[in-house]
Structure 1
């Protein structure tokens, strides 16, 4: 050390520190900071440099401890707030941000917007981003991406195109922007457009990442969020098998992104449960509990998502993961685990509709339907937006208890008219009405749903719903004897959906009704289908008679039998015998492995596959040995009559002195008597 206070040596170390920082060598920079602080423990510049280097190295706890010391606390409030945000201590970060000086307003607005976004305060997040854009200009790509994400998370997806136009950006500039734009389209229900944007995100992302010389597996890991969202869109469009395959392939990559892994796992088991048969649903739910348990921890008697993951998920995603865990435990009949999950949700998500619905489901599982219904009624009264879901669950509980009338009342109590036209709700209502014998009400309900779907935009769901409604409405009208009205329904369906001409069931029903009620429409239908069949009149008559004969054979079992002459019976028996002989075919013999047809040798025994007791040789032997002595169980076969006690000679009587005749002596060793 030269000099009294060592300033020249400290200056030299600062030179090394500056070189390390410029080269991005954090370890060397931290080492230089420690050397300076040994010589000058209160040096403010060295302390600030060390705090920033610790943050960049991800050593946030050490950085927070250092930032709490008096020399740094007043001037580095922003760095402290950022560390708290990175540690997931969002409320503390928001409080620390209030001490950031005004000259850091741009960075502060961005940090506050991110904190509010993570806390689920989407309105505040959008306000901060809007102020940032107006005052400082959202020039960086990261800020622009976060602005779009905030609008989507805040339920203002419809404003995203205008916001992107104001910022003069497009979805093709980065795969993050394309991804966030697709999320906005998903929020508005535009699934096909969202799928196109996600495919665009994949193309843009692959081009950018391959230019950075990343390997194929590394590119797949970077684009994992886009792949997960594409699988979700496929599931929403009804392509469950494709979605399940995408999720399984994604989870097979051993993702290091816990947020994407948790969302993909959650959605995978939701899709598996939807597609699994009832007998396998319990096992699928049990597997889901095990997989989701990897993202949970129990702290202080409360089940919650791991803090490292919780800070990465939005409020909606956290609620979905917790609800899925509780639902899977309930379906797997792990009632204690489900109770623990619901109790944790009551603490973390108080007042959430999904919490009340799960609580009601637990009460119903415990045999308390009245308490469950009361809880759902309170939920519907407190939150009008969740009332339809509450009414649906009430209807399900009533139907499960066998009260169809009460279930129908709950379904009819849904105020939103769009819910009544949903295929699942509509099908349930019609089934309940038919069970209760309310044919007129069923017809009126189907007519209202038909009007709703007629005004809907063209889609695969609309076409499927229209066909289902028309089929059931026509069936109701047929039972009431209104043939003309039923024929008119099918005619209207063909006018609305030209693709229905390829539906065999629709064509069959319409053709039958039109032939009876409207011959002109039948002729028009024949012309639309391509005219005649190309058969002659005699061939058509023969085909018609054959159909009549088949219909006669398939008559109901309770119809009275038609008398048939004896000659016809004999002819029918001869024909049946001929047909049976004709149908009998010779079975090809099974040849041994490696058999060469060109050099067959002696033919193999055709009965070598049968057990020995079933072979023809064994049968012949049994027939040959029948009636002869054979070995068998004890007592079987010929019996020696001399051994029968009843055939033994009588013993001589006693003499005149009353003595019995002497028995022959038994020779043996002395002392060896009978024991």
Structure 2
């Protein structure tokens, strides 16, 4: 009866209940191999991988050998990847399932080349749509798409997983429009196929969550932030079962809100990093989410929590520049600028570009312009990037060292010429031509524009016009020769009066210009001669021109020397009466409030009382 009950519960998927039956059966028959195998599988099905690993250790060597697949899978789920690979390598003739597990293990370790090789071996044995999806995922992570995948992309009409992976691969290559098309296709296929497989609306929404998050990411990159936020929040509201999808949506929506909703951001990022405990995130995703958590804590003023995250980042990602960046920001918040500079200098020596640029920015913010220029000069080949060159030239212009700025541009031209990168060379040459022309180096400027005429055929006429202007200062004959190649202007000089142009005022309204169009020269002269009427001066009443005005007339009345303070109300008293010893009059008794009541401020507007007679009129 126990054996039958065990089979029934496993068939129904009641693995927790099945564990109880396993224990009962083993109490009666301790050497039953089939029940021991079933108990191990129950642990795995329930996700209790630690218990499964501990239970396998208690088994004898012969049974352990039979359970190599289960042991390897348990090690894989516990992220003990090297142990999983060692166990699989002990198998003499591995099955397709073993090869799949080995490939997935290499994928987790980030060895995408070995993973691809294993999948190619599997492909020789069996070629399935699921395998093609996995190969696409590997190529996406390796950022390499072969011809077969390109063909699969074109002919794909029934696999939304393949379309999704192809979108990820295109996204890696910054082909955003093509990636968006693949995601739209993936959603379309999923909505057509999943209802046929008897998926409920909720399950379909759960399957589409990853597609929507990736689509929202593309919207975010293409400045469609409102649409991106709407998609992210829709996914978060539905609470997808995939923890990694939830984590990515939570992190990305925080980056869109920026400095707003910090308490929500803290909560979202805490939920996002919890996916790392379930081993659902890649190392890169975990690093970025933790960095964003540190930034949020820094903005909220939670310094201790921020330091905790920095320590975690330093421990898990010692080569990453992110811990140093957030620590430097924390030191700056605490007004320890020198310590922040020292920290960034130490990290910059390790050769990380992000740290070096951050150091340069900090030096510039601190007013150390020359040190900033030196930091940018020491970037190696990165110092010739277009943005870095522009910054160096601008800073040297501020220090009024045009000669050094010119050398920077010349060295950048040489660098990109040697690299044969025409795209960057065109940008540098144009910037150099403009700079040289502005600094009266007309011959050098003409040389730059001349090279541009040959390099950038699409904008040839524009560069020729620049070249003509530059040559007009040094070689007018050559300038006129180049000017002949420019297209004729459609502008006509007929009907233009030189006198009218000379008499034009710099600041004229549209109404004046319209009126002046129909006027002849005599009318203009007459207008000029017309004198402007003077307004009659308005003088105050009783004005006496012979009397000097009061010098205190602009002062408030109570600050003037002639001001007399009003006397207190003497009503009801006789003149000369001793006020200290006198009895209060009836008028005074009436106006005195009763001593027992305390004044209470009324909310809202208070009703004004009537003015007493005898006040100022």
Q: Same fold (TM over 0.5)?
A: yes
Choose which of 206, 213, 230 in structure 2 pairs with 1:228: 213
Where in structure 2 are the equivalents of 1:10-89 lying within 5 Å?
Answer: 13-14=3-4, 33=22, 36-37=25-26, 39-70=28-59, 72-86=63-77, 88-89=78-79
Is the CA contact (8 Å cut-off) linking 1:360 and 1:376 kept in structure 2? yes
Indicate the residue corresponding to 2:546 in structure 1. Answer: none
Indicate the residue corresponding to 2:286 in structure 1. Answer: 318
Where in structure 2 are the equivalents of 1:372-383 lying within 5 Å?
Answer: 372-382=340-350
- Aligned residue for 2:293, secondary structure, equals helix
Is the CA contact (8 Å cut-off) linking 2:104 and 2:115 kept in structure 1? no
Number of aligned positions between the proteins = 523
Choose which of 128, 143, 146 in structure 2 pairs with 1:161: 146
- Aligned residue for 1:328, secondary structure, equals helix
Change (3 A) 1:550 1:79: same
How much has 1:170 moved relative to structure 2?
6.5
- Alpha-carbon distance in 2 for matches of 1:472, 1:226: 46
How much has 1:43 moved relative to structure 2?
1.9
- Alpha-carbon distance in 2 for matches of 1:483, 1:637: 90
Indicate the residue corresponding to 1:134 in structure 2. Answer: 121
Change (3 A) 1:368 1:251: same
Change (3 A) 1:411 1:220: farther
Change (3 A) 1:57 1:478: same
How much has 1:314 moved relative to structure 2?
1.1
How much has 1:413 moved relative to structure 2?
1.4
- Alpha-carbon distance in 2 for matches of 1:231, 1:410: 38
- Alpha-carbon distance in 1 for matches of 2:436, 2:301: 40
Change (3 A) 1:408 1:647: closer
Choose which of 304, 307, 311 in structure 2 pairs with 1:336: 304
- Alpha-carbon distance in 2 for matches of 1:330, 1:267: 18
Choose which of 376, 379, 399 in structure 2 pairs with 1:414: 379
Indicate the residue corresponding to 2:265 in structure 1. Answer: 288
Where in structure 2 are the equivalents of 1:482-521 lying within 5 Å?
Answer: 482=442, 485=445, 496=456
Is the CA contact (8 Å cut-off) linking 1:21 and 1:29 kept in structure 2? yes
How much has 1:319 moved relative to structure 2?
1.7
Where in structure 2 are the equivalents of 1:624-663 lying within 5 Å?
Answer: 643-645=574-576
Choose which of 437, 444, 449 in structure 1 pairs with 2:400: 437
Where in structure 2 are the equivalents of 1:121-520 lying within 5 Å?
Answer: 121-123=109-111, 126-131=113-118, 133-134=120-121, 137=125, 139-153=127-141, 156-158=142-144, 160-162=145-147, 164=149, 174-214=159-199, 218-273=203-258, 281=259, 283=260, 288-296=265-273, 307-309=276-278, 311-382=279-350, 384=351, 386=352, 388-417=353-382, 420-423=384-387, 425-443=388-406, 445=408, 470=430, 474=434, 477-478=437-438, 480=440, 482=442, 485=445, 496=456
**Is 1:108–2:85 an aligned residue pair?**
no
- Aligned residue for 1:313, secondary structure, equals coil
Where in structure 2 are the equivalents of 1:579-590 lying within 5 Å?
Answer: none
Tell me the alpha carbon deviations over residues 492-539 of structure 1, each in whole angstroms, 9 at most, x when there is no partner.
6999596999xxxx99x989979x9879999998868xx459x98369
Change (3 A) 1:174 1:430: farther
- Alpha-carbon distance in 1 for matches of 2:232, 2:484: 51
Is the CA contact (8 Å cut-off) linking 2:119 and 2:135 kept in structure 1? no
- Aligned residue for 2:506, secondary structure, equals helix
How much has 1:102 moved relative to structure 2?
2.8
Indicate the residue corresponding to 1:561 in structure 2. Answer: none
- Aligned residue for 1:432, secondary structure, equals helix
Tell me the alpha carbon deviations over residues 545-575 of structure 1, each in whole angstroms, 9 at most, x when there is no partner.
6563449xxxxxxxxxxxxx9x96985679x
Is the CA contact (8 Å cut-off) linking 2:429 and 2:452 kept in structure 1? no
Change (3 A) 1:210 1:167: closer
Tell me the alpha carbon deviations over residues 269-295 of structure 1, each in whole angstroms, 9 at most, x when there is no partner.
33444xxxxxxx4x5666534431334
How much has 1:395 moved relative to structure 2?
0.6
How much has 1:76 moved relative to structure 2?
1.5
How much has 1:312 moved relative to structure 2?
0.9
How much has 1:542 moved relative to structure 2?
6.7
Taking structure 2 as the reference length, the TM-score comes to: 0.67
Change (3 A) 1:544 1:85: farther
Change (3 A) 1:642 1:390: closer
**Is 1:97–2:87 an aligned residue pair?**
yes
How much has 1:179 moved relative to structure 2?
2.6
- Alpha-carbon distance in 2 for matches of 1:381, 1:18: 65
Change (3 A) 1:17 1:100: farther
How much has 1:115 moved relative to structure 2?
3.0
Change (3 A) 1:525 1:315: same
Taking structure 1 as the reference length, the TM-score comes to: 0.62
How much has 1:146 moved relative to structure 2?
3.1
- Alpha-carbon distance in 2 for matches of 1:316, 1:220: 27
How much has 1:402 moved relative to structure 2?
0.7
- Aligned residue for 2:66, secondary structure, equals coil
Is the CA contact (8 Å cut-off) linking 2:209 and 2:235 kept in structure 1? yes
- Alpha-carbon distance in 2 for matches of 1:643, 1:447: 101
How much has 1:392 moved relative to structure 2?
0.7
- Alpha-carbon distance in 1 for matches of 2:245, 2:533: 71
